């Protein structure tokens, strides 16, 4: 690659992350492939990158799975898939010029159970000073967005033993560096309403769909740190993302004060919703929402 490639100077890069699962019958299914393909195309448009075609991405993903089919683990493992798009046009002086050339690749890697050895409640540092990314690009799965969160996460890990940072600019709860955030209690789910400032997670959408189907009261709205801390005194908190699906939070650290979430363990509502989604992904129950694509 040319050292003047656009991506190396102006961060013209976006990606996706999702999984293929081997079902009990041996069939390999990709979870919500269509949604991830469309989100990559949306990210490309937002970053002014050449937009790959839906059919092109579909064919690339299927071809890669076909070549690596024997590497798809049995449950609870999966084949992690990552389409990656980045600008390759050599343009050192192109800060205001979108790349006209880009490289699209798809990589795959077998992954295992995120909670092998048991679920561990997370320690989350609440940062009410910083924003994870530029407000108009928060919904883009851009590499630069993740880079922007690394520094604050390292500081929180060193100073507070935190696993992740929950960004709450101006005191408004948003998301962590790599996952969406939800509050749970008594068949009630609360999460930030969708806007351009944070990633529109596919796992988040899937969990909200299941919760509604199960009769939960699902609220999508803005809420602040004070409401969140009051909620977790008796309720649950969790992070939603591709890797862990739904990971329980045991402690929220705000300033120098630690707030225990419920009894400090991964809560039963979190475990139940996670199990329901994982059962669909791994083909153990009916795919009643049409989320699995056989390949």
Q: Torsion-angle region of residue 290: left (phi > 0), alpha (psi -120 to 50) or beta?
A: left
How sure is the predictor about 33, in pLDDT bands with cuts at 50, 70 and 90?
very high
Residue 231 near residue 185, CB atoms below 8 Å: yes
Class of domain 6-112: alpha beta
Please state, in angstroms and rounded to a whole number, the distance separating the CA atoms of residues 185 and 211.
Answer: 12
Q: Kindly report, residue by residue over 129-180, the tens digit of the pLDDT.
A: 999 999 999 999 999 999 999 999 999 999 999 999 999 999 999 999 999 9
Q: Kindly report, residue by residue over 212-222, the tens digit of the pLDDT.
A: 999 999 999 99
> Is 141 noted as a catalytic residue in this protein?
yes
How sure is the predictor about 94, in pLDDT bands with cuts at 50, 70 and 90?
confident
pTM more than 0.75: yes
Whether the predicted pLDDT of 80 surpasses 80: yes
Residue 21 near residue 31, CB atoms below 8 Å: yes
How sure is the predictor about 245, in pLDDT bands with cuts at 50, 70 and 90?
very high
Averaged pLDDT for residues 117-136:
92
Query: DSSP assignment of 123-147, as one string?
Result: EEEEESS--SS-GGGTTS-BHHHHH
Tell me the domain boundaries of the chain: 6-112, 122-281
Question: Active-site residue among 141, 204, 254, 274?
Answer: 141
Class of domain 122-281: alpha beta
Whether the predicted pLDDT of 77 surpasses 90: yes
Terminal Cα distance for the chain, rounded: 32
Number of Cβ within 10 Å of residue 93's Cβ equals 8
More confident residue, 92 or 267: 267
């Amino acid at each position: 690659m040319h050292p003047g490639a656009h991506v190396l100077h102006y961060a013209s890069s976006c990606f996706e992350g999702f999984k293929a699962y081997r079902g009990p019958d041996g069939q390999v299914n990709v979870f919500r492939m269509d949604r991830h393909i469309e989100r990559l195309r949306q990210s490309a448009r937002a970053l002014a990158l050449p937009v790959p075609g839906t059919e092109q991405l579909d064919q690339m993903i299927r071809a890669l799975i076909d070549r690596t089919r024997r590497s798809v683990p049995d449950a609870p493992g999966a084949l992690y898939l990552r389409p990656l798009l980045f600008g390759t046009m050599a343009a050192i002086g192109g800060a205001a010029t979108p790349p006209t050339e880009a490289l699209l690749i798809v990589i795959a890697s077998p992954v295992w159970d995120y909670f092998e050895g048991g679920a561990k409640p997370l320690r989350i540092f609440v940062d009410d000073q910083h924003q994870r990314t530029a407000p108009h690009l928060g919904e883009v799965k851009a590499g630069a967005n993740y880079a922007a969160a690394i520094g604050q996460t390292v500081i929180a890990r060193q100073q507070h033993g935190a696993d992740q940072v929950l960004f709450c600019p101006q005191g408004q709860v948003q998301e962590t560096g790599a996952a969406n955030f939800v509050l749970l209690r008594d068949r009630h789910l609360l999460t930030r309403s969708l806007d351009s400032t944070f990633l529109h997670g596919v796992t988040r959408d899937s969990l909200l769909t299941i919760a509604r189907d199960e009769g939960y009261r699902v609220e999508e709205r803005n809420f602040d740190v004070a409401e969140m801390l009051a909620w977790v005194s008796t309720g649950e908190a969790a992070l939603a993302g591709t890797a862990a699906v739904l990971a329980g939070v045991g402690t929220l650290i705000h300033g120098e004060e630690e707030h225990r979430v419920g009894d400090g363990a991964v809560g039963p509502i979190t475990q139940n919703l996670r199990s329901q989604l994982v059962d669909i992904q791994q083909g153990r129950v009916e795919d009643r929402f049409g989320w699995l694509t056989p390949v």
